[in-house]
């Protein structure tokens, strides 16, 4: 969970990310204060020109009263330029500090969010579109910078200018200052009403943009299916409909923000017009000088600027709060599978896996995926798990590394309940080969080394030999050092699968889980890989989700699942002609290398 107690406002929780940067923040506040003082001084060189150079009045500052008009004019011009040079330097320094702090806050928030996502259970990702999570990580995390930096500093800067300039205005003419202040309540009531509407529409816009991102990502990932079924037109309509909904919300948000700024500008113009009329009347009566009226109007223009900035910043804060809530919504999600309070370390592992009356139901599912499964895999035993699509094979084996916990029953490793073991220790003893090979944009060797970064080159080469990677790697431009994946050398499905097998073998696991590891291989390559896997399986408890007889025949025991139940168990020869569910699967050609299961 991110900093701050659950239930605290997004701003309070974001401000906790500011704590490590207190020194830089204080320095930036000092620059803001200095900037406010120099902003107050900006009209005075022009007042000197109007009242003292052109009007002939005595110079107001010590050291200037002895200057002739030409030199006083030169001093006023130099002073005006210096003021703007100093202000530019202060703004540059302030932006450098505040943007740097804001970006480090975004980095820290992203780090917490990514680390928390890594801890969340697979069930969370099954229920969330990946595009939405990418949007929260990429865009919503910027709320840290917007709320803390783009929110706090404009408010502080604007507040200081209001206080300092308001004080000067009252000292110059209380009547004109009172006219100006009468507009403030109306202005802030308008701001409050419009800001609430902006927050609501901003949330809708973010959700629709996130949905569009998810739809686009799904379309790109399924491009082979789209083209294969000539579904380009319907996919185009679906994705563009999501795009149009996002653009429509974005347009309404933009129009509301524009109207928001326009309403503020109109109210500012009304206040300025009233002050100009009253000030002009006083000037014509000789109660204030032309220079004083110029300074007063200049202050008013500058005074309304921070009010307008505050109005805009409050709207920005409302919008950023939506993004922050979306980030903290994920950070507040508790993992469904976690270490027990007194979870034990896992030392020596023999490899006995026992499923004790195990049942499992997915969230929001209409029925259980597993029903009271009881079975034992002895240490070093090779278990083939077979059954029709949707029988629960993948679900059953997902309980071993605790991707899910049973809804009922227990899974025990060497007599110890998995729920009482440290998850990281448990998973470090397990090697997994998924059905769909996944390669990262790294070299072949680094892909093999992924789960064991400290592995030596010799260990990588041995794993490559066992999985049959070395044979095709010799033909690659740089051998095992050739980049592969989305940004590198293109590989066949079978070659990619062999790399994932090598990756699992490199960990030297006590338990191997192979989800149809040879489904993408040709018969010749399959025989080679199976021989390598068979050598690697020696002394390891191995589970293989199998649809090919070549894989099943090598198993010591076969578990047959149907509708989430273990309906048959035994050796391949015993089950092949046993007249039970396994023989029926053979007769229905469900064990001939057909489609793998997806549930």
Both 422 and 330 in a single domain?
A: no
Statement to judge: residues 512 and 420 lie in one domain: yes
Q: The tokens 């653009």 sit on which residue?
A: 247
For 219-274, the pLDDT digits (tens) are: 887 887 788 778 888 889 989 999 999 999 999 988 988 887 788 778 777 877 88
Residues forming a β-bridge with 557: 383
User: 165 and 36 share a domain?
Assistant: yes
Mean pLDDT of 84-100: 90
Domain that holds residue 114: 1-172+323-334
pLDDT in tens, 463-513: 998 888 888 899 999 999 999 876 556 788 778 888 888 898 888 889 999
Domain end (from 265, 287, 309): 287
Task: Examine residue 154 and state whether it is found in any structural domain, yes or no.
Answer: yes
pLDDT of res. 410: 96
The verdict on 168 and 197 lying in the same domain is: no
Contact 37, 168 (CB under 8 A): no
Verify that 120 and 183 share a domain, yes or no.
no
The answer on 180 and 122 residing in a single domain is no
Residues 307-326: tens digit of each pLDDT: 667 767 777 787 788 888 99
User: Does 60 map to a domain?
Assistant: yes
Residue range 40-78, pLDDT digits in tens = 788 878 777 777 677 667 666 666 666 777 887 888 888
Q: Name the band, by pLDDT with cuts 50, 70 and 90, for residue 332.
A: very high
- Long-range CB contact pairs, 450-458, < 8 A, 24+: 450/503, 451/503, 451/504, 451/506, 451/507, 452/506, 452/507, 455/506
Here the CATH number for the domain that contains residue 24 is: 1.20.1560.10
Is the model more confident about 135 or about 60? 135
Same domain, yes or no, for 166 and 214? no
Helices of type H across 508-578: 523-536, 549-552, 572-576
Among residues of the chain, what percentage have pLDDT more than 90? Answer: 28
How large is the average pLDDT for residues 175-199?
75
My answer on whether 71 and 101 are in the same domain is yes
Please indicate, yes or no, whether residues 232 and 376 belong to a single structural domain of this protein: no
Max mean pLDDT among 145-149, 295-299, 542-546 falls in 542-546
Residue 296 lies in a domain: no
Same domain, 249 and 327: no
Q: Looking at the domain assignment, is residue 306 inside a domain?
A: no
Q: Which two tokens stand for residue 301?
A: 């223009």
Q: Which of 587, 48, 578 has its CA nearest to residue 291?
A: 48
Q: Is residue 299 part of a domain?
A: no
Q: What is the CATH number of the domain that holds 366?
A: 3.40.50.300
Q: Does residue 318 sit within a domain? A: no
Domain membership flag for residue 343: no
Q: What is the pLDDT of residues 347-383, one digit of tens each?
A: 888 999 999 999 999 987 888 999 999 999 999 999 9
Confidence of residue 594 (pLDDT cuts 50, 70, 90): very low
Rounded CA separation 348/357 (Å)? 26
- How many domains does the structure of the chain reveal? 3
Same domain for 558 and 474? yes
Could you tell me if residue 346 is inside a domain? no
Same-domain pairing of 114 and 49: yes
Which pLDDT value is given to residue 529? 65
pLDDT at 593: 46
């Amino acid at each position: 969970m991110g900093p701050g107690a659950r239930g605290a406002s997004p701003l309070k929780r974001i401000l906790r990310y500011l704590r490590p940067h207190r020194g830089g923040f204080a320095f930036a506040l000092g620059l803001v204060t200095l900037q406010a003082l120099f902003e107050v001084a900006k009209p005075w060189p022009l007042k000197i020109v109007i009242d003292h150079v052109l009007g002939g009045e005595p110079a107001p500052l010590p050291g200037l009263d002895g200057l002739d008009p030409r030199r006083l004019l030169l001093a006023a011009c130099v002073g005006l330029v210096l003021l703007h040079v100093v202000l530019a330097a202060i703004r540059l320094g302030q932006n450098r500090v505040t943007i740097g702090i804001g970006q480090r806050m975004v980095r820290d928030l992203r780090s917490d969010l990514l680390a928390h996502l890594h801890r969340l259970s697979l069930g969370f990702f099954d229920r969330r579109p990946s595009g939405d999570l990418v949007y929260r990580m990429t865009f919503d995390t910027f709320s840290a910078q917007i709320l803390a930096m783009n929110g706090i500093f404009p408010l502080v800067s604007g507040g200081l200018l209001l206080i300092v300039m308001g004080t000067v205005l009252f000292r110059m003419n209380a009547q004109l200052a009172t006219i100006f202040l009468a507009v403030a309540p109306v202005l802030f009531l308008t701001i409050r009403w419009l800001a609430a509407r902006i927050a609501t529409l901003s949330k809708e816009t973010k959700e629709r943009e996130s949905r569009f991102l998810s739809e686009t990502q799904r379309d790109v990932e399924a491009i082979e299916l789209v083209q294969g079924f000539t579904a380009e037109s319907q996919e185009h309509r679906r994705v563009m409909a999501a795009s149009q909904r996002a653009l429509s919300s974005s347009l309404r948000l933009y129009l509301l923000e524009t109207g928001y700024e326009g309403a503020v500008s109109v109210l500012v113009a009304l206040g300025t017009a009233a002050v100009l009329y009253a000030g002009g009347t006083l000037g014509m009566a000789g109660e204030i000088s032309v220079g004083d009226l110029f300074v007063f109007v200049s202050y008013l223009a500058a005074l309304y600027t921070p009010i307008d900035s505050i109005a805009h910043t409050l709207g920005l804060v409302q919008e950023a709060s939506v993004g922050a809530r979306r980030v903290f919504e994920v950070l507040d999600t508790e993992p469904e599978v976690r270490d027990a309070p007194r979870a034990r370390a896992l030392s020596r592992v023999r490899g006995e896996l026992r499923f004790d009356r195990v049942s499992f139901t997915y969230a929001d599912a209409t029925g259980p995926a597993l029903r009271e499964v009881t079975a034992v895999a002895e240490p070093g035993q090779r278990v083939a798990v077979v059954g029709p699509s949707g029988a629960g094979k993948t679900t059953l084996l997902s309980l071993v590394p605790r991707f899910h916990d049973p809804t009922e029953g227990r899974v025990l490793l060497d007599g110890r309940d998995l729920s009482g073991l440290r998850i990281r220790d448990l998973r470090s003893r397990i090697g997994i080969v998924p059905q769909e090979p996944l390669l990262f944009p790294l070299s072949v060797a680094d892909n093999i080394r992924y789960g064991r970064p400290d592995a030596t080159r010799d260990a990588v080469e041995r794993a490559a030999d066992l999985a049959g990677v070395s044979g095709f790697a010799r033909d690659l431009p740089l051998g095992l050092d050739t980049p592969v994946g989305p940004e590198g050398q293109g590989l066949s499905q079978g070659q990619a699968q062999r790399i994932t097998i090598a990756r699992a073998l490199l960990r030297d696991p006590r338990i191997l889980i192979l989800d149809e590891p040879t489904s993408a291989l040709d018969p010749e390559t399959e025989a080679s890989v199976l021989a390598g896997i068979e050598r690697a399986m020696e002394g390891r408890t191995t589970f293989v989700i199998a649809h090919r007889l070549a894989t099943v025949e090598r198993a010591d025991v076969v578990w047959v699942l149907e509708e989430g139940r273990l309906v048959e168990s035994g050796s391949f020869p015993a089950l092949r002609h046993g007249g039970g569910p396994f023989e029926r699967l053979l007769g229905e050609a469900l064990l001939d290398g057909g489609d793998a299961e997806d549930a």
